[in-house]
Structure 1
Amino acid sequence: MEQEQAWYLLPDEERIETPSLIFYEERLKANISLLKSKIDRVSRLRPHVKTYKCREITRLLLSAGINKFKCATIAEAEMLAMDQVPDVLLAYQPVAENISRFFKLKSQYPDTAFSCLADHPKIAEQLSAMAIKEDVTVDVYIDLNVGMNRTGISPDQALSLVKSLRRLTGLRIKGLHAYDGHIHDAAMEVRMEKSAPVIKQLSDLQEKLEAYLGYDLRIVAGGTPTFPIYASETDFECSPGTFILWDKGYQDAYPEQAFYTAALVASRVVSLPDDGWICTDLGHKAVAAEKELKNRVFFISAPLLEVQSQSEEHLVLRNTTPENYLPGDMLYGLPYHVCPTVALHEKAICLKADQSIEYWEIISRKRKITI
């Protein structure tokens, strides 16, 4: 068993600071290859960078022929443009100062084609006014609410919005965007059943709007849970994110998607407060804490340790085995939710194929890089 798990062990453990975020490059590459194998055309892939937030993984994706990306913040968009990504969708409707920042992106990084979401005439008018001022054209995707009730408009309101946008100078309607985060059931057949009406709704709306506009529209839809469905059942562009790192939550929920866990958190025992009790340095600031206590981290190097409490800098565990732990012992933990965990770290340790180590900056955890 130790030999099977050896993939996660770091060389020179005693020199590793904790808590730390660890990426495993061979597994990242394997996940990219697996993703590509699940879709008919690489051009339909538009991965979401919110999960990994670093330039080095962007470069791995680019080298694999993936040229379209999706992001949620101006900083993530700038991170992508720093590596000359050809096509970046800001999957967020910019408002207030972020409209100005969006246009600064377009000006500062002319080699990248930026687009954004729109779901309200007021914002569309502001985008149009800025486009006229800057003498540019802005590509927009109509954001649709297909059941998550977070952003977007009802599909039956889309034609009205499209008619409003068509009257505005400087805007070009590029396509439709729909995020179905409410469809996250463990059973694949349930996800397929819930996705079917969404697929029909989007396809019917696409046909109607293309007839009105007189040109083709793209559909960008879904995340990781519904990726296999949209990949095989539609011609939509697909936007999985968590696939690249994978985590305990998705590993348990979606076994049909056999991605490798490619990111862990390294922690050390710092104290033994009582018989059978262990305190580690994996607090709220090092692993995402939005889930219930038992579903925050799973120690693959010590699976029988039971989480008891967590605070800003400490995670207390109960040792129910005869194994003895000492202060300084390293524990390797698999986060249940890796996306917000990555954002807690300024850098990641990357274990390369040759067992060397690099440090990768989590650059777009920042709200601002330069713009």
Structure 2
Amino acid sequence: MNRNNMHDNWFELNHPEKIDSPALLVYLDRAKKNIEKVIQEVGTADRLRPHIKTNKSAEACQLMMDAGIKAFKGATIAEIELLATVGAKDILMAYQPVGPKIDRFLTLIDRFPEVKFQCLIDHVDAAKALNEKALEAGQTIGVYIDLNAGTNRTGIAPGAAAEELFEALVAMKGIQAVGFHLYDGHLRDPNLKIREEACDAGFAPIAQMREKLEKKHQVTLDVIAGGSTTFPFHSKRERVTCAPGTFIYWDEGYASGLPEQSYLYAALLLCRVVSLPTSNYICVDLGYKSIASENPLDNRVKFLNASDLEPVSHSEEHLVLEAKEGHTYKIGDVLYAVPIHICPTVASYQEALVIQDGEQVASWKTLARDRRITF
């Protein structure tokens, strides 16, 4: 059974007329259940380093900390600054700092001396630039070598190239190589066995490389591996920290693409019918300023209380949907929508309205949606 459908009207608000649209809603109890589930999935909170790119709010991070999660990662200076301000003590910037970002990163380290900050490196030139700045600042920066296991987005191939980079880092006085980082989110086959086999094949050379370098240098190297599609596989390995992020809110993309995972929808969009332009078209206020729109038109949103609607066109402030002739939709009708991709959707909203028992009980500012918070 799809746990999201156990109670058909769980998402409905008692007083939707009090909330302007479009609005981002976070269902507090469901988010807490998702946090509990991810900890159970990996066995202990100490094996998690969640990515906060999904939630970008202090309160959501605090929920995870309250559950016992101590280590986190973010992709931007703003995200890791947010983590530091809420009291996280072990923070990875899952990005290679280049240019002015190096100075901002070092400024953040100086402002929060009690926090262990680390970052990614995948090229010797970037390492040299970071090393030079770190030495000038009197700092030693812990870095993870970012590995490319097939995403071809960032990273260096495991094996000889990564080993050569590791040796270069060992010789630098402003940098300390502490381990390897792997994001293999390109592995999305809905067949669980095929996905797991591909994940294992991609990890095998990493395990061999770690063992070789640990023996040679007499060190212990950490490995951070896996996003939402693969972290359950990596959680079975010894000395691997898992780094999913979407679990806290979930979305339709993962709900349909990862049928073996049963996280709950915990973040929805409330929108309204704003026009009836033809006899079989309706328009809602969910333009592409309000929901992630990188996917094809028919793969951006799922309506929980209007499954018969089909998208026709999408623009900045409008989403036109086809309804059946003779439909009963009216101006002002409230629709509840699950984004296909929640992470960039959250970034479109200044705040999330927190829902409990059908009522808004709080609002959470999306502080890290901007590139800068205080500097």
| Alpha carbons 2:142, 2:175 under 8 Å: kept | yes
Match runs of 1:1-371 below 5 Å = 4-156=7-159, 157-320=161-324, 322-353=326-357, 355-371=359-375
| Partner-residue secondary structure (3-state), 2:305 | coil
| Partner-residue secondary structure (3-state), 1:264 | strand
The change in CA–CA distance for 1:317 and 1:34 in structure 2 (over 3 A counts) is same
| Alpha carbons 1:84, 1:111 under 8 Å: kept | no
The change in CA–CA distance for 1:2 and 1:14 in structure 2 (over 3 A counts) is farther
| Alpha carbons 1:352, 1:358 under 8 Å: kept | no
Looking at structure 2, the residues matched to 342 and 5 of structure 1 have their Cα atoms a distance apart, in angstroms, of 24
TM-superposition CA deviations, 1:293-316 (whole Å, max 9, x none): 111011101111111111000000
TM-score by length of 2: 0.96
Which residue identity does 2:222 align to in structure 1?
Answer: R
How many angstroms does 1:240 deviate by?
0.6
Any unmatched runs of 5+ in structure 1? none
Looking at structure 2, the residues matched to 248 and 367 of structure 1 have their Cα atoms a distance apart, in angstroms, of 27
Which residue identity does 2:236 align to in structure 1?
Answer: S
Identity of aligned residues (%): 42
| Partner-residue secondary structure (3-state), 1:232 | coil
Q: Which moved more, 1:349-358 or 1:298-307?
A: 349-358
How many angstroms does 1:357 deviate by?
2.4
| Alpha carbons 1:25, 1:353 under 8 Å: kept | no
The change in CA–CA distance for 1:5 and 1:354 in structure 2 (over 3 A counts) is closer
Looking at structure 2, the residues matched to 311 and 114 of structure 1 have their Cα atoms a distance apart, in angstroms, of 41
How many angstroms does 1:321 deviate by?
6.8
TM-score by length of 1: 0.97
Which residue identity does 1:109 align to in structure 2?
Answer: F
Which residue identity does 1:180 align to in structure 2?
Answer: D
Looking at structure 2, the residues matched to 32 and 3 of structure 1 have their Cα atoms a distance apart, in angstroms, of 19
How many angstroms does 1:233 deviate by?
3.9
| Alpha carbons 2:93, 2:119 under 8 Å: kept | yes
| Partner-residue secondary structure (3-state), 1:199 | helix
Q: Which moved more, 1:347-356 or 1:171-180?
A: 347-356
Which residue identity does 1:90 align to in structure 2?
Answer: M
Looking at structure 1, the residues matched to 258 and 356 of structure 2 have their Cα atoms a distance apart, in angstroms, of 27
Any unmatched runs of 5+ in structure 2? none
| Partner-residue secondary structure (3-state), 2:42 | coil
| Partner-residue secondary structure (3-state), 2:166 | helix
Which residue identity does 2:102 align to in structure 1?
Answer: I
The change in CA–CA distance for 1:2 and 1:370 in structure 2 (over 3 A counts) is closer
Q: Which moved more, 1:206-215 or 1:284-293?
A: 206-215
Looking at structure 1, the residues matched to 206 and 302 of structure 2 have their Cα atoms a distance apart, in angstroms, of 38
The change in CA–CA distance for 1:294 and 1:301 in structure 2 (over 3 A counts) is same
Q: For this pair of structures, how many residues does the alignment match?
A: 371
Looking at structure 2, the residues matched to 356 and 244 of structure 1 have their Cα atoms a distance apart, in angstroms, of 19
Looking at structure 2, the residues matched to 310 and 105 of structure 1 have their Cα atoms a distance apart, in angstroms, of 40
